[in-house]
Structure 1
Amino acid sequence: MAQRSPVPKFGNWDNGENVPYTAYFNKARQGRNAAKMINPNDPEENPNMFSDSSSSVQGPTSRFGAERGEPVEQVAGRSRHQQQRSREDGHLWQFTDSPATHDNFGASSESPHHRPVGRGVNSGETRRKPARPNGGPEHGVERSPLHRHARVSTRDGGVSSHSLDGKPSHDSSHGTPGRYRLKPETRGDETEIHKYVGPSLSSSDAPVSILLINWGCHRDLRKVLNLGPAAHVFVVDSHRPIHLHNLSDQNDRVVVLYTRDDEHQTDLAYDFDVPALANACDLNSDDEADEELDSEDENDSESEEEGDGGGSRKRRKVSEDNNTDPVQVFRKLKREYYHMGTFHGKPSGCLMYDLSHTLRKNTNELLWLACVSLTDQFVHQRLTDERYQAGVMELEQHINSSGNLESVTLVTLKDGTKIRAPNASKIAYEDEPRLMLLQEWTLFDSMLCSSYIATRLKTWSDNGIKKLKLLLARMGFALVDCQQKFQYMNLEVKRKMKDEFDRFLPEYGLTDFYYRSFLRLHGYRSRVSAADVVYGVTALLESFVTTDSSCASKQFGVAYDALSLSNLDKLKAGMQHAIKIQRAILRQGSTAITKSGCIRSGRKFRWVKLEDSVDTKLLGYPQALTKFCYFLMDALREKGARMKPLLCACLSQEASKVLIVGVSGKPRLGAVQGNAFGIAFRNAAEEIGVEFFHELFESSWIVLDAAAVNSFMVRLTEKL
């Protein structure tokens, strides 16, 4: 048997010289800074690394940091911070930045002409990426799980993990550098996107992917973004109608997350095949000119209807069988689709969760965000009660199958005592009263200001307050208890609330006071409802004081952080701001209803103008003004007024600018018309020749010069 060669001593492994191994280290340190070196694996020298026993996220993060030349102490501290936030907060980056996620996405979603970077499904080890200069990755765009270069864009304020130049855009950056970039778009400016997806991007370059969340369906993205051959846009948007060019099979640059089953469940009813209509479109045609022509034809048809007393409506809606010209049939169907008005499909958060569930990447955090997105549409009256109930039933099934059911966990202490220990965090569902921010308010104030009760009891008047106090007395609730913060209110009152409300509220016409809602429970510490999260986050989004994009992006970052259970202080701050907004709605609503001539009525709609300098600072935002419009419509309905769409004008945060919002009422199942103010707003503003801004989150929002409001309303009255 051959004798193996002896193992050399520590030191020189190439020959048999007995050189101490420390001599090589001392030689390597010559010429370097005399900074203190620490051993990152020693718990005494680097305690941050060992403060948590769970360190699965730490390794990759430290590797990425070391590649950028960061000190070991900084890498370890940052890795621990990201690990703790990923475990407790459960941000969306848990879904996108886990090693398993990169493996699957790299294998399934990568371009066939480009090998994925890092460890793939079939690869045995992770290839080390070369260090990059501080200027950022190639092309200035960071890595994505879907493609090598990607950019995630959101509308109406946002948070950026890294700005377009590779630097953090605000203090709170989310996500791991080198994976994806979250960039908000607030003013409809697509010039930044052009730098990465425009014609200058050749087909030989690595593919660039853009994910548009809750924006983009209504625009011809292929034309607006001027997409290059290596660029792809993925759209997850609940706004309807969808631009037909985005759905066409000829358009391989834009992919809309869209299923026919979801569209069949929308509130508005239409009996034509939208994908087939999209495939009949010519992508190279001047679609905007066609839409303008269609708009003129529609206006002419409406004028004929008015002159004929409605008889031309039957003539205009001719069946396809009687029309032999396919071009005319196509134009007619396209005109009907675009002029249905705006409405909403399945919430974007629910679509994203369905995608993660299909990929088996669903987590409790993503499920909670889906619950919040569905509740957002319900709170802001973007879907019918029937569709909301269907969505609730679907999410309840996911909650039950995800291990969120109530379970008794017994823990035995050292002395043998058994105690009940709650789960760290879980999602539950239960019937919740239509009382706004009850957990952060008092029962009396919540009933006084919530739109559901305030509009029915008319709590802005002395008689309405008397009714409210009488109702509480009949239920046996002491006024002193009801005026305490709900968190510290009498437990006996809390226990009896549901039974007493079910007993007495139907006498006041409040028959649907309770609705199915979702709760996030975090041990014994917190109990947050999805509706409260919607109120708080919406208030944070609309609390910027200036209109520049940096301020709006900062507020988006604050709102993004507020979605996490570890940032309840930010969420509670948003809830308190939402309470101020609701009080302003009650004040201005009572003034508009009781003051004669404040609400002007036209043939097709009503409109009101807010001029209070104090409350306009709270209500001069699109979503807050929309809530005010719905409050007025509910109050007018309770007074017996005929239902009409309502417009509200309010001073904007910009100097000498006015924000105008139009609502057509709560969606009704089987309706044939949505919110028709979008096209009417643009046409009226163009015809009077005034400068306007119409690229807001909803097409029924528009910003005009303050001096042009009256002429705009006159022209709008003539068109509608």
Structure 2
Amino acid sequence: MIITRFKEDFYNVVRKTHVLMITSNDVDSLCTTAILSHLFTCDDVMFTVVPVDGYEELNDALRARQDYTSSIVLINCAVTCPILEILNVPPNSTVFVVDSRRPLNHFNVFEANQIRILVNEAERSSLGIPNLDDVIAKDEDSESDDDDDEYSEGSNDGGGRRNIIDRVTRRAVRKENKRLWESQKNKILWQYYEYNWHSTSTAVQMLELAAELDRASAELMWYAAIGVSSQYTDRLIPIEGYTDTCVTRMKPFITKFSPKNAAKSDDLLRISFGKELPLALYTHWNLYNAMAVNEYFACKTKNWTQKGEKNMKELLAKMGITLVETSRKFESIESKQKKELIEILDKEMGIGFASFTVHLGYSGQVNAADIARAAALRIESPHNVEPMDRFQAALRIIRAAISGPKDQQVILVDAFERSYQKMLKMIWHLVGTAINQSEIVSTGAFYLMSSQRAISAEVAESRHFLLNFTHFLLKAFACSKRGRSGKPLIVTFPLPQSEKQPDGWHVVTGIMPLATAFEDNTFKSIIGRAFERAAKDQQNMQLSFDSFDNSIITMRATDRARFFDKLQSILETSGI
């Protein structure tokens, strides 16, 4: 069942019970959990937090609490699956689902006893949820179709024969009506589930709840800013969707907690929103390195080729930027010169990106998008580290930006310079290698990059890494030769062996073609749906859809060829 009154039908209900929060291990979920935890603490609500990586761990968490009779809050997990059908939900509990994934599973929508899905009222009309009578079968009529009832003994007279004919006719009509209804139902559900996409950040939704409870603060706004930024940096929403959320849903909080003429003090937390470069970590790096691993500048200069460095220097000269300026650490450049460089690069990139920046007293500034990037890498992998340990490590990164200079220097330097910069270089290197060695092949309906090289366990199971690499690779592949923007790209990597991961398994993901025209400020993709169809009725293939994102799956290496053959036939008929 959908609920739109978050305060009355959600918060005022769960605050009276012990709350079990099961949260997906991603940044938006982390920020959502942080906001809800703050609200529960303010109201002395007892709660437990359990981070999970996928359906298996989610089921384990529920199975261990079968006697639980209070409220369960699922954060960014399970809204797209029939919850009561596949999960071990305690029978006497009520499940509240806070999730940005779409579409909503129709069984969850029509379940009126245990399931409560939080949806903003303004979004409800755009969800396209089918009518109940069109997709849920009614109980059969009390009239039996059994032959014994229809052909009773002693009905050999004329009236009896007419009754038999009437009953046979009615049964034939019912069967035909049922067949037509099933056909129409399948058509409706096919259209409803064809695409997957993400709605508004759940952290932003919980910030709005905090405001309704009169408990919004600059700290909670910071969590929400990182949550919506993570959707953009994880490639879940386009920049148009990100900007729309910032200037509409976040506008009241920007006005309240980002005053333009706010006075500075040693302990004052200020959050500003303004123009920013979509250049990862450039304020914590030097411009040359940040530009070299950025997909826009890398694709424009083709810096993975022999002429790449020369092309980069020519581009800098054309923009009027010297090598000395780009080689210096950005924070050491004078303020006036920084502004000039930002204006030049912003004009060159032409993306029109704006972001949230936190200021604590007189200490340095930190960008929400950079925090979202670093936290994503820390929380999502490696899976051989316990989910709670990764959850807490990522939370420390988010809080470090608002807890003072000492924490910033220790925690953020480690997250930015020792971890995330390393990942950016790895992505650039993998992209360059794939292009130079012609590892991408056309299979007809899609492009395929099937790597045999094992990658670091620190990133192999990270959604953030996989989607950023795949987007970068497709753009690099398309800019290398014309006519390559009309097909989706499927990527597969071998997973490193560990205690939780047996040898011989690959992770597979995919993205829509570059030429796809997206509507409603969302990235609507059929890849996840195509994966599910390709796996259907393939009983001899070992596949796992454990991830909450159905566009990221794992499979045995020996089953890849058959899976891709099936996927090709599906995508050929999809009309991409």
Which of 28, 39, 63 is the aligned partner of 1:194? 63
2:478 corresponding residue in structure 1: 637
SS in structure 1 at match of 2:490: strand
Give CA-to-partner distance per residue, 1:298-319, whole Å, 9 cap, x none: xxxxxxxxxxxxxxxxxxxxxx
Q: Which stretch of the first structure deviates more once superposed, 695-704 or 421-430?
A: 421-430
Shift in Å at residue 533 of structure 1?
A: 0.8
Q: Deviations over 1:528-562 (max 9, x none)?
A: 11110111001112342xx34x5233112101221
Q: Tell me which of 341, 350, 358 is aligned to 2:212.
A: 358
**Quick one: which amino acid aligns to residue 554 of structure 2?**
V
Counterpart contact for 1:605–1:647, Cα < 8 Å: yes
User: Which one of the candidate residues 511, 520, 543 is aligned to 1:663?
Assistant: 511
TM-score between the two structures when normalised by the length of structure 2: 0.78
Change (3 A) 1:519 1:108: closer
Task: String of CA shifts for 1:272-328, please: whole Å, max 9, x gaps.
Answer: x41x5257554999xxxxxxxxxxxxxxxxxxxxxxxxxxxxxxxxxxxxx996665
Q: Deviations over 1:593-641 (max 9, x none)?
A: 1223x11112211111223345576445333122111001111232322
Q: Which moved more, 1:686-695 or 1:624-633?
A: 686-695
How far did 1:108 drift?
7.1
**Residue matched to 1:335:** 190
> 2:230 matched to which residue of 1?
376
SS in 2 for 1:407: coil
SS of 1:661's equivalent?
strand
Distance 1:107 1:375, change over 3 A: closer
Hey, what does 1:473 align to over in structure 2?
A: 317
Work out the CA distance in 2 between the residues paired with 1:614 and 1:327. 46
Q: 1:691 to 1:209 in 2, by over 3 A?
A: same
- The answer to whether the Cα contact below 8 Å between 2:277 and 2:346 also exists between their aligned partners in 1 is no
Superposed CA offset, 1:330-383 (max 9, x none): 442222101x22111111111111222222222222212221122122222222
Pairwise CA distance, 1:253 = 0.9
* Contact in 2 for aligned 1:209/1:234 (Cα 8 Å): yes
Give the Cα separation in 2 of the matches to 1:324 and 1:703: 36
In the other structure, the counterpart of 1:142 is none
Give 1:183's aligned residue: 50
Q: For 1:152, what is the secondary structure of its paired residue?
A: strand
Contact 1:371–1:395 (8 Å) recurs in 2: no
Q: What stretches of structure 2 of length at least 5 have no aligned partner?
A: 1-6, 31-39, 140-177, 572-576
For residue 423 of structure 1, report the CA deviation from its aligned partner. 6.3
Which whole-Å deviations, capped at 9, do the CAs of 1:190-230 have from their partners, x for residues lacking one?
1331343x4x66xxxxx411111111211111233354553
Q: Which amino acid letter does the alignment assign opposite residue 709 of structure 1?
A: R
Distance apart, 1:472 and its partner CA: 2.5
1:703 paired to 2:554: yes
For the pair 1:438 / 2:282, whether they are aligned, the reply is yes
**Residue in 1 aligned with 2:395?**
560
Q: Secondary structure at the residue paired with 1:607?
A: strand
Structure 1 position 425, deviation (Å): 0.7
Task: Give distance in 2, aligned partners of 1:107 and 1:214.
Answer: 16
Structure whose alpha-carbon radius of gyration is higher: 1
Please give the alpha-carbon distance, in whole angstroms, between the structure 1 residues aligned to 2:10 and 2:529: 44
Matches of 2:245 and 2:441, distance apart in 1: 38
Distance of aligned partners of 1:394 and 1:610 in 2 relative to their CA distance in 1, 3 Å threshold: same
1:665 Cα deviation from its structure 2 partner: 4.5
Q: How far apart are 1:523 and its partner, in Å?
A: 1.5
1:689 and 1:260 mapped to 2: Cα distance? 44
- Which residue of 2 is the match for residue 684 of structure 1? 534
Letter in 2 for 1:387: G
* Structure 1 residues 372 and 284: CA distance shift in structure 2, 3 A: farther
**Contact kept in structure 1, 2:455 and 2:495, CA below 8 Å:** no
Separation in 2, partners of 1:560, 1:175: 17
User: Contact 2:72/2:96 (CA < 8 Å) preserved in 1?
Assistant: yes
1:664-720 Cα distance to aligned partner (Å, 9 max, x none) = 147744389932232332343451612222120310111112222233222322333
Match of 1:486 among 327, 330, 333: 330
Q: Does 1:429 align with 2:273?
A: yes
Corresponding position: 1:251 with 2:99: no
Q: Given the superposition, is the C-alpha separation of residues 284 and 589 from structure 1 closer, same or farther in structure 2, using an over 3 Å criterion?
A: farther
Kindly tell me the number of residue pairs found equivalent between the two proteins. Answer: 498
Q: Secondary structure at the match of 2:550?
A: coil
CA distance in 1, matches of 2:424, 2:122: 37
Alignment of 1:501-512 (within 5 A): 501=345, 505=348, 510-512=349-351
Name 1:167's counterpart in structure 2.
none
Is residue 55–residue 546 contact of structure 2 (8 Å, CA) maintained in 1? yes
**1:646 aligns to what?**
489
Across the aligned residues of Structure 1 and Structure 2, the Cα RMSD in angstroms comes to 3.3
**Is 1:146 the counterpart of 2:15 in the alignment?**
yes
How far apart are 1:484 and its partner, in Å?
1.8
Q: Are 2:84 and 1:235 aligned?
A: no
Distance 1:693 1:449, change over 3 A: same
CA drift at 1:188: 1.5
**Contact between 2:507 and 2:553, CA under 8 Å: does it hold in 1?**
yes
Give the number of the structure with larger relative contact order, counting CA–CA contacts within 8 Å between residues 6 or more apart. Answer: 2
Q: Does 1:625 align with 2:480?
A: no
2-side partners of 1:710 and 1:616: how far apart? Answer: 24
Give the residue type in structure 2 aligned to 1:712: F
Counterpart amino acid of 1:557? Answer: Q
In structure 2, the residue matched to 1:602 is 443
Distance 1:557 1:325 in 2: 53
- What is the CA distance between 1:656 and its match in structure 2? 2.0
- Whether contact under 8 Å (1:436, 1:532) holds in the other structure is yes
Written as runs of structure 1 = structure 2, the 5 A alignment for 1:61-210 is: 109-110=12-13, 146-156=15-25, 179-189=46-56, 190-196=59-65, 198=66, 207-210=69-72
**CA positional deviation for 1:239:** 0.6
Counterpart secondary structure, 1:662: strand
State the one-letter code of the partner of 2:112.
N
- Offset of 1:502 from its aligned partner? 5.4
Instruction: Report the Cα distance in structure 2 between the residues aligned to 1:107 and 1:470, rounded to whole angstroms.
Output: 58
Which deviates more from structure 2 when the two are superposed, residues 460-469 or residues 426-435? 460-469
Residue 98 of structure 1 is matched in structure 2 by none
1:494-573 matches, within 5 Å, as 494-501=338-345, 505=348, 510-512=349-351, 514-544=352-382, 547-548=383-384, 551-564=386-399, 565-566=402-403, 567-568=407-408, 569-573=410-414
CA contact (8 A) 1:408 1:422 kept: no
Matches of 1:620 and 1:346, distance apart in 2: 24
2:26 & 2:241 partners in 1: Cα distance?
A: 28
**Following TM superposition, by how much is the alpha carbon of 1:234 offset from its aligned partner in structure 2, in angstroms?**
0.6
> Judging changes above 3 Å, is the alpha-carbon distance between structure 1 residues 485 and 376 closer, same or farther for their aligned structure 2 residues?
same
Contact 1:386 1:669 in 2 (8 A): no
Aligned to 2:294: 450
User: What amino acid does structure 1 have at the position aligned with 2:488?
Assistant: P
Shift of 1:385: 3.2
SS at match of 2:240: helix
Amino acid at match of 2:281: L
- What amino acid maps onto 2:529 in structure 1? I
Partner residue in 1 for 2:422:
580
Pair 1:695–1:518, CA change in 2 (3 A): same
Indicate the residue corresponding to 1:347 in structure 2: 201
Where 2:444 maps in the other structure, the secondary structure is coil
| Superimposed CA distance per residue, residues 629-659 of structure 1 (whole angstroms, 9 cap, x where no aligned partner) | 1001111232322321111111113322111
Q: How does 1:24-43 map to 2 (within 5 A)?
A: none
